Structure 1
Amino acid sequence: MNSHVPRTDHATPPPRLSWMLALATLGFLVSFWAWSLLAPLAPALRQELGLTPFQQSLVVATPVLVGSLGRIPIGALTDRVGARVMFPLVTAATILPVLYLGHAADSLAEVLVGGFLLGLGGTTFAIGVPFVNSWYPPGRRGLALGVFGIGTGGTAISAFTTVQLTDAVGRNFPFDLVAVLLAVYALTACLFLRDNPGRAVTAESLLARTAATLRMAVAWQTALLYAVSFGGFVAFSVYLPTYLTTAFGLERSDAATRTAGFVLLAVAMRPVGGWLSDRVRPVPVLVTAYAMVAALALVAATEAPLVPLGTISFLGMAAALGAGAGAVFALVARLVPPERVGSVTGVVGAAGGLGGFFPPLVMGVVNSVTRDFTWGYVLLAATAAVAGVFTATVVRRRTR
């Protein structure tokens, strides 16, 4: 039988709300920075350890897959014990694999073990969403969760700094720096992070709570929407450099800079999507976002000149995917009982992380078979269109 402490309204001064949101976002940012440390170093590790392309992909994929799937139990635990326990615990535990990878891992097996444990850093998403959701009133949750989502920018910080710091200071330095930041954050969270005393708390066991969540239709529906929006963002951030160098002959540095612009715009649009969802409801925001992605993917399918049409299409998709990701969690906040937000967030977050791996594989296969990228973008357009129709029909009926 489900039992929970009913949520009550507590008058909380706005500065404290902002402080709680800032602490959660900072923890998300630092842990995602840690989570992404291996990807920028993959080419160097390939040379250093004599890895095959598949082994290199495995090194990059391991922490992402573990971090994505790990959100399911971590979200369920957060519903039970709260973010005040989980945030310091998870960030402190992430220090160990960070230091291990920086100082002790010097073979493929050791790097994979370290990467597996490093996946823990990617689970903090499922801690922060229920935490922020519990503090903010319904009319402000979309914007608040969107601001929290800026923490995904930790992946961009890692991409921009890891190789440069390695070259300038030494191979160990990025790992040491992130370990120190994780320790500082864990201590800060212990001292200052507070759960809302009126948050809903479930009394179910972890297994019972997870099983109940997986039986919820809304969990799978929002997971599908997030797999398209955030999964599309992840896919582009991973595959866009390869596409730009292959299709347009750009230098790697130029392709990396353009991809960075894509990532930053998508991250910046996440709170915008949440804010719009507070104003006009999440469903119209999502339908518009998926329609934009479908239309602009068809433009990209024509392999139009990169300047200006190609650039406009990619940046437009970045804005739509970012806004869509923000709107999905505004939708979760509206449809999911407060005591289950963490559990559902775990499932939805896992779908988003895993959703980013299929499009690059599809694009690679399509390009290998047809020698162009047209059908890959046509499939993206079709997927976004299906997500838009699903949102406008099934999800809209559920919100009513």
Structure 2
Amino acid sequence: MRQAAIILVMVAVCAAVVGTSYGMHSPIVPVFAREELGADFSQVGLVGMANYLPYMFFPFFVGMALDRVNRAYVLAAGVGLNVFSIFMLSAVQSVPEAMAFRALAGVAHALFWPSSEVIISANSDPSKRVKWIAVFTAAWVGGFMAGPLAGKLVLDYFDYRTLFQLSALAIAAALVPALLLVRHGRPAEAREPRKATTLAEVRQELALRPAASAAILYYAVTFGVTLAVYPAYIKSAGMSDQNIEVLFFMFGIARFATLPFAQRLAAWGRPALAGAVALAATSMLVSFAAAGAPSSWTFFAFAAALALIGVATSIFYPVTFGIVTKGVPPEKLGSRLGIYETLFGVGWAAGPLAVGLSSDAFGPPSPYLAFSVMGAVLATAMMTAFARKRS
């Protein structure tokens, strides 16, 4: 138990450092693309898609690798690649260059996140996995919450490019706890020869949990849009860079305040997921309305929308994590998590691209109304299916 707690603390420290760096620079990347690179909303969406596109493919293969190699080395590789990709943003001069380095950041995240999940899962009692993953997420969210305040302070005195350089310097500190985990990152001994996961097995796995799969996909789409395009949408409504950082600090507060209830929420299963989808749909509706709100209310409307999506994401992740890891032997955790992280990557990449294109075609508020309707339909379908199953 003591050793598990030490491992959790080291992974949590790593998550807090990486989260802080992400919080510093991520909300500003879409604004940087618009203001300094001259990108339209479609190009902002492409930059966001480039960041998330690797997550459509890499987690699947990273998950299989995590069942075979030391997970701490994979974790450290993710941190190191993040340092390089974030620092190089300070040198980009065009949208394609920004896309290239955001794609590298996506590869880095595909190394970092699944390896953290597997280290925690493999070194904790199955009955406490949701609790430990909630602590890990709280560390990440705490960093992501503090990061925008640090970013605001930097932007008070320096430019976007200096912000990226300082964010890269900050994330480098996570290499220390990552490398300290080497002796705890060895994969479990397989009870039988390992086989590569086939596409047929992936389809079968997703078909076994259609509600969780649909919720993960919707969560990924809305979360990806919130990070990759939403700041540019807020900027187009007249918000300053500093106010955007403050709004994402509030987003972090909402996420952090919800995580202590993760263990209880996980026990609700599908109803909790349906509730999270409904909250995300409401957030999208408020986002749609915020563009037409009086200027004195615009800040508060966006704050409410980000608070709602913050609460929703803090419900989504621990609950789905508990569902997909239930009953999985330690030697297969990487492959199982890789399947669902890949599904997440599909939504993460598709969302920003769809929103960018539809924002230019139909106006910036239009995609948020569409996502609100889709979320309402999905939440209703999930609750109806759950009621039928109980009856």
TM exceeding 0.5? yes
Unpaired runs of 5+ in structure 1?
Answer: 1-11
Aligned with 1:81: secondary structure?
coil
- Between the aligned partners of 2:345 and 2:135, the Cα distance in structure 1 is 19
User: Deviations for 1:169-220, whole angstroms, at most 9, x for unmatched residues?
Assistant: 5666545544444444324322345437794647535x54676445423476
Matching of residue 235 in structure 1 with residue 215 in structure 2: no
- Between the aligned partners of 1:101 and 1:197, the Cα distance in structure 2 is 34
Matching of residue 289 in structure 1 with residue 276 in structure 2: yes
Q: Which amino acid aligns with 1:96?
A: F
CA RMSD of aligned residues (A): 4.3
Unpaired runs of 5+ in structure 2?
Answer: none
**Aligned 8 A contact 1:76 1:210 in 2:** no
Q: Which amino acid aligns with 1:74?
A: V
- Between the aligned partners of 1:75 and 1:101, the Cα distance in structure 2 is 28
Q: Which amino acid aligns with 2:325?
A: A
**Aligned 8 A contact 2:134 2:262 in 1:** yes
**Aligned 8 A contact 2:45 2:355 in 1:** no
Matching of residue 216 in structure 1 with residue 202 in structure 2: no
Residue in 1 that maps onto 2:109: 122
Distance change in 2, residues 1:267/1:55 (3 Å) = same
Q: Which amino acid aligns with 2:104?
A: L
Residue in 1 that maps onto 2:15: 28
Distance change in 2, residues 1:76/1:159 (3 Å) = farther
Match of 2:71 among 71, 80, 83: 83
Matching of residue 95 in structure 1 with residue 95 in structure 2: no
- Between the aligned partners of 1:299 and 1:183, the Cα distance in structure 2 is 37
For residue 328 of structure 1, report the CA deviation from its aligned partner.
0.9
Residue in 2 that maps onto 1:9: none
Distance change in 2, residues 1:62/1:338 (3 Å) = same
Residue in 1 that maps onto 2:157: 168
- Between the aligned partners of 1:372 and 1:63, the Cα distance in structure 2 is 21
Distance change in 2, residues 1:194/1:213 (3 Å) = farther
Matching of residue 276 in structure 1 with residue 264 in structure 2: yes
**Aligned 8 A contact 1:146 1:326 in 2:** yes
Residue in 2 that maps onto 1:262: 251
Q: Which amino acid aligns with 1:21?
A: L
Q: Which moved more, 1:141-150 or 1:85-94?
A: 85-94
Q: Which amino acid aligns with 1:129?
A: E
Residue in 1 that maps onto 2:347: 355
User: Deviations for 1:82-141, whole angstroms, at most 9, x for unmatched residues?
Assistant: 422321232234333344444x55555544433332222211111111221122222221
**Aligned 8 A contact 2:71 2:185 in 1:** no
Aligned positions, number: 380
Q: Which amino acid aligns with 1:257?
A: V
Distance change in 2, residues 1:174/1:294 (3 Å) = closer
Match of 1:185 among 156, 174, 192: 174
- Between the aligned partners of 1:181 and 1:285, the Cα distance in structure 2 is 35
**Aligned 8 A contact 1:62 1:112 in 2:** yes
User: Deviations for 1:298-340, whole angstroms, at most 9, x for unmatched residues?
Assistant: 6777779759898667634532332122211111221544333
**Aligned 8 A contact 1:63 1:118 in 2:** yes
Residue in 2 that maps onto 1:331: 323
Q: Which amino acid aligns with 2:122?
A: S
TM-score by length of 2: 0.74
Give the alignment of 1:114-153 within 5 angstroms: 114-123=101-110, 124-150=112-138, 151=140
Matching of residue 61 in structure 1 with residue 49 in structure 2: yes
- Between the aligned partners of 1:250 and 1:41, the Cα distance in structure 2 is 15
Q: Which moved more, 1:371-380 or 1:107-116?
A: 371-380
Q: Which amino acid aligns with 1:141?
A: R
TM-score by length of 1: 0.73
**Aligned 8 A contact 2:155 2:242 in 1:** no
Percent identical among aligned pairs is: 18
Distance change in 2, residues 1:312/1:126 (3 Å) = same
The structure whose RCO (Cα within 8 Å, separation 6+) is larger is 2
Q: Which amino acid aligns with 2:68?
A: R
